[in-house]
Amino acid sequence: MFDVIGRNFVFLMGGLLTTFELAILALAGGIGLGMLVGLARLSKNPWIYYPITAYVNLLRNIPLILVIFWFYFVMPIITGDAMAPFPAAVIAFVIFEATYFGEIFRAGYQTISKDLTAAAFSTGMTYSQTARYILIPIAFKRMAPSLITQSIVTFQDTSLAFVIGLTELVRRSSIVDNMEVRSIELYGFAAFVYFIVCYTGSQISLYYENKAREVNLI
Amino acid sequence: MIEINKINKWYGDFHVLQDVDEVIEHGQTVVICGPSGSGKSTLLRCINGLEPFQKGEILVDKTSVKDPKTDLYKLREKIGMVFQRFELYPHMTAMENITLAPRKVRKWSKERAQDKAMELLKRVGMVDKADAYPANLSGGQQQRIAIARSLAMEPAYMMFDEPTSALDPEMIKEVLDVMVELAKAGMTMLCVTHEMGFAKEVADEIIFMDKGKIVERGTYDDFFNNPQTDRAKLFLSQILD
């Protein structure tokens, strides 16, 4: 019954590779940008606070699939050049996920007392040094479970990139399905692969949560 | 020398510092006391520019804290500060807490910063805790590490903001001993504290603040034996209970 998987295994795993590539770039960009978005959301400078807050509120209230669509179809109008699905998906994911990661980081920064920041300033450290060596690492550790959960969600969300023709795992399953009409096996297999990856991720999350508790970081 | 010249600060309508004047000469230890909410901590934070003030002037070695052209980060390098709740970086060991600013701000090599840190850990009696995380240290130990962290930048001035008021009684002495040693070694110190034993031993001047004003100033004996205002008399009777 699952011979269809065996015959198309290499093709399907190629899709999984694309899924991983997209997820890794989306996470690296989303988390990196999210650290800064979180800082901006706590900024006292209105020129930083209001535009970033508007960006976060806008993106968090639009379904991801529309952000992907919008980006893919609007960017060519702005730049005059059609964009390949993969870079379009990466950019759409980064700007979308950065808002979610940004809110997680903001919550993390808010657990840090103002006097801790004052202590860093009192040793002559600049704001960017304080952010880099104190605020971001502490927020990262304290928010590790939430960050991993959001990363798992991001990994699952990458399947939405199939709507702009990116041949990731789900897209490739549907391509095979169109030829062989074996929907249950193919989508069942795709779901199984997602489950394995995400379940492993959630177990890692649990491990770090317990570890953080041991050193009183949470 | 720190010159505080008629500074005024408001939080909205609340006049938190009113015409505060003070000169701290090199090598002096000044103790600031007074009831909570009298503006003591705010005064310290104005001196190193952590808090802005609206009127008046503060000069640290003739450099204006208020002048927008002043590099406050540079200025803070020479004013160490110790906080009531220690404020050690929780994700770093004692050693890393102490070496961070010398390495990143002064650009010292790791070896040089660690040598300096070991020297300071010796001075505060914490050599064996170099690799401990703050969560595994007692309050008194954390505060001694915090003092070492400030001293690592080789500041010309040290400010203490109620350094013992979050400590259990049996730990107060270990922190005060470090502070006394520092004062006797010639450090210029500004201490917000109600530890009158400390004030008696090392203070060159005591300032008593109430409602944002300095209402009394003088030597320990003047203040302790002959307080001029009713507010100071009441305060002394309360803390000496």
Distance CA A8, CA A35 (A): 40
What tokens does B130 get?
């170099």
Distance CA A117, CA A131 (A): 9
Residue ranges making up the domain that contains A194: 3-217
Instruction: Output the domain CATH number for residue A95.
Output: 1.10.3720.10
pLDDT above 90 covers a percentage of chain A that reads 72
Predicted confidence (pLDDT) per residue in A75-118, tens digit:
888 888 888 899 999 999 999 999 999 999 999 999 999 999 99
Is B83 close to A216, i.e. CB distance below 8 A? no
Domain count, chain A: 1
Is B91 close to A129, i.e. CB distance below 8 A? no
Distance CA B157, CA A71 (A): 56
**Residue B61 backbone zone (phi > 0: left; psi -120 to 50: alpha; other: beta):** left
What tokens does B52 get?
């802005």
Q: Is the dihedral of CA B179, B182, B186, B187 positive or negative?
A: negative
Residues in chain B whose Cβ is within 8 Å of chain A: 45, 48, 50, 73-74, 76-77, 79-81, 83-85, 87-91, 100-101, 104-105, 133, 135, 146, 149-150, 152-153
Distance CA B95, CA B28 (A): 29
| Displacement of CA B187 from its chain's centroid (Å) | 11
pLDDT at A208: 77
Predicted confidence (pLDDT) per residue in B137-167, tens digit:
999 999 999 999 999 999 999 999 999 999 9
pLDDT at A209: 79
User: What amino acid is encoded at A129 in this protein?
Assistant: Q
pLDDT at A73: 87
Of all residues in chain B, the one with the smallest CA distance to A120 is: B101
User: What amino acid is encoded at B190 in this protein?
Assistant: L
Query: Where do we find the tokens 């897209």?
Result: A171
Cβ contacts from A onto B, under 8 A: 72
Distances (CA, A) of B165 to B76, B150, B162, B231: 24, 19, 6, 21
Among B42, B82, B83, the residue to mutate for chain A (most A Cβ within 10 A): B83
pLDDT above 70 covers a percentage of chain B that reads 100
Predicted confidence (pLDDT) per residue in A38-75, tens digit:
999 999 999 999 999 999 999 999 999 999 988 888 88
Distance CA B74, CA B54 (A): 22
**pTM of the complete model:** 0.89
Q: Is the dihedral of CA B65, B66, B67, B70 positive or negative?
A: positive
**Burial (0-12, 13-18, 19+ Cβ within 10 Å), B218:** middle
User: What amino acid is encoded at B56 in this protein?
Assistant: G
Is A119 close to B87, i.e. CB distance below 8 A? yes
